[in-house]
A = this chain, B = another copy of it.
């Protein structure tokens, strides 16, 4: 049985969905840490083999999720803690040599607000690769060679994003690529409240657009870390999912009258999802659900992620530098 009819880019939600369906799951390990005081949950989902990958619908690799409702609020104290966790976990996904060269890629379309996360992160990265011998004295020995590129989306460039990244990577020759993108979640509660980091790479446009050529170690020939935040829920997923939860609640309260319900549940999930998409026509593939304050929140999230990167990538850049100059 497949789990792909819910549209989500979060491994955590694939895992939840499988559990809800009561399925067995091999090849997947999950560990959770919680900071109750600050309301931050970190979940590490490890897909260890192809069986796990097949049930999860995601490639083998590590998927770290940081969840906190404070991300979308204007709470700089909580943000500082999230930045620290982000920087630390990024270091665990990939160990950087002191002289490593890094290329940050901001995926997405800066003109569509909920898709602009990647380009906005790139704007806030402390880029240093071009300084070379002109490095200001106070930065010498404190920074790695970092570059950042927002390649745009295929509909506007006419070029597969993976091609652009590969072409540029062949010139920059980095030791690691970090690709940032806006994602789609299944649950509205996770919108703008979750950061996922993974060493399994990414398919650009998975959040708001169509699946495209992958950017990962296999295609790029170097380690690729994907970092994303769900900023939307796909409209059909929202309807499907809400309906399912509603039916469950009603079935519980009227267990004797389930004939129709059973029929409804008995529909192949695929069929039901298709039916919803049809009803949502003509815009369906291009409709998304997003909160009203998305413009303001995207800016905050980009600040958190870029700050985490600046600390993780540059050995001599501290939380204090970030607070004072870089946020």
Residues of chain A whose beta carbon lies under 8 Å from any beta carbon of chain B: 69, 74-77, 110-113, 115, 122-123, 127-131, 145-152, 154-160, 163-164, 166-172, 188-189, 191, 208-209, 235, 238-239, 242-243, 245-246, 249-251, 254, 257-264, 272, 275-276, 279-284, 286-296, 323-327
Assess A243 versus B239: contact at CB under 8 Å? Given A283-B191, A286-B293.
yes
Assess A163 versus B171: contact at CB under 8 Å? Given A288-B290, A291-B286.
yes
Distance in angstroms from A289 CB to nearest chain B CB is 5
What residues of B have a CB within 8 angstroms of the CB of A281 in the complex? 189
A246 contacts B283, CB within 8 Å? no
Assess A159 versus B172: contact at CB under 8 Å? Given A286-B292, A292-B112.
yes
Distance in angstroms from A178 CB to nearest chain B CB is 13
> Residue on B with the closest CB to A192?
B283
> Residue on B with the closest CB to A147?
B158
Excluding A238-B239, A288-B290, 19 further A-B contacts by CB distance (< 8 Å) are: A76-B324, A77-B324, A112-B294, A115-B292, A127-B158, A149-B151, A149-B159, A163-B172, A166-B171, A167-B172, A189-B283, A242-B279, A246-B272, A249-B275, A250-B264, A251-B260, A257-B260, A257-B263, A260-B262
A324 contacts B75, CB within 8 Å? yes
> Residue on B with the closest CB to A169?
B167
Distance in angstroms from A67 CB to nearest chain B CB is 13
What residues of B have a CB within 8 angstroms of the CB of A284 in the complex? 188
